[in-house]
Amino acid sequence: MVNHPFKNLSRLALAACVVGLGAASVVAQSAPSTAAPAINPSRVDIFGGYSYFGAHGTLQPLGANYSSIDKGLILSGAYYFNKYAGLESIYVGHFNGNNDALSTISGGVIFRAPMDHYTLFAHGLVGGGRLDGPNSASPQYQNPYKWGPALTAGGGMDYDLPFLQHRLSLRLFEADYRFVHADFGPYTAPPTTGTMGGRANLNGVDLSTGLVAHIGTILPPPPVTYACSVAPATVYPGDPITVTGTAANLNPK
């Protein structure tokens, strides 16, 4: 029987997401109704966490397969123009795979749907990928790092945490499809030289999770108000009158 580690890890990640959603629902239901509302939507979101890359691709014309990479990190920043749309930049580093490594830097648009305690988002990005491999234990089968175009599309879900005035969220999951093309130059059959050359069209799925920090807010501050009261309520000609004014929602600046 052929073992498919990527399928098994994908099922495990999916199960973890389901458990996370269930736990989040229990927390939301058990929270008191007097809890402060979440600061939503934010102006800037900063995300950092763990990322797994399930690679599917071969080096042509050799036909050597790339492997999935279990170790990785992801960092991203999103700036929103309004409640629903903004721009995002992402760095993803997948290091020390079985026979390869991949890092990508991308930027593009992001859309979100903020709800009570949850936020759904989707994004599409373009950028560059730094790929090496697929390398073997033999020094004759080596390809150095090479930059090439990268495309990313995907989305995920965040859950607002009741800490720091709801300025922190748990990214329950982020699932991205990623495509990277790298041209290592003319193919040379090993072991003639130390590099193989060839072309790689690598695609796969990034599965990520981590924490999101929310900065600022889209909603404008409440307007300044001024209320007046007059005393006494009943007066006669010549009686003194006291008028008291109270301002609210003042800007500290």
For the residues 190-194, what does the mean pLDDT come to?
58
Which residue from 130, 180, 182 is spatially nearest to 151, judged by alpha carbons?
A: 180
Q: What pLDDT sits at residue 139?
A: 54
For the residues 139-167, what does the mean pLDDT come to?
87
* Rounded Cα–Cα distance for residues 4 and 232 (Å): 84
In the structure encoding, which two tokens stand for residue 169, read together? 């969220």
Cβ burial 73-91 (10 Å sphere, 16+ → b, else e): bbebbbebeeeeebebbbe
Residue 30 has pLDDT above 70, yes or no: no
Residue 194 has pLDDT above 80, yes or no: no
Q: Give Cβ neighbours of residue 159 (< 8 Å, ≥ 6 apart).
A: 20, 24, 117, 118, 169, 170, 172
Percent of the chain with pLDDT over 70: 77
Residue 23 has pLDDT above 60, yes or no: no
Q: What pLDDT sits at residue 140?
A: 56
Q: What pLDDT sits at residue 38?
A: 43
Q: What's the pLDDT tens digit per position in 200-240?
A: 999 999 999 999 999 998 876 677 888 888 878 787 887 78
If phi > 0 it is left, if psi is from -120 to 50 it is alpha, else beta; for residue 43 that is alpha
Q: What pLDDT sits at residue 209?
A: 97
For the residues 97-121, what does the mean pLDDT come to?
92
* Rounded Cα–Cα distance for residues 118 and 188 (Å): 52
* Rounded Cα–Cα distance for residues 108 and 150 (Å): 12
Phi, psi for 20 (deg, rounded to 5)? -65, -40
- Three-class SS string for 66-113? CCCECCEEEEEEEEECCCCEEEEEEEEEECCCCCCEEEEEEEEEEEEE
Residue 8 has pLDDT above 80, yes or no: no
Q: What pLDDT sits at residue 251?
A: 63
* Cβ(199)–Cβ(217) below 8 Å: no
Q: What pLDDT sits at residue 227?
A: 85
Q: What pLDDT sits at residue 36?
A: 41
Residue 147 has pLDDT above 90, yes or no: yes
Residue 6 has pLDDT above 50, yes or no: no
Tell me which DSSP letter residue 13 carries. H
Of 44-58, 120-134, 181-195, where does mean pLDDT reach its minimum?
181-195
Residue 37 has pLDDT above 80, yes or no: no
Residue 91 has pLDDT above 90, yes or no: yes
Residue 13 has pLDDT above 60, yes or no: no
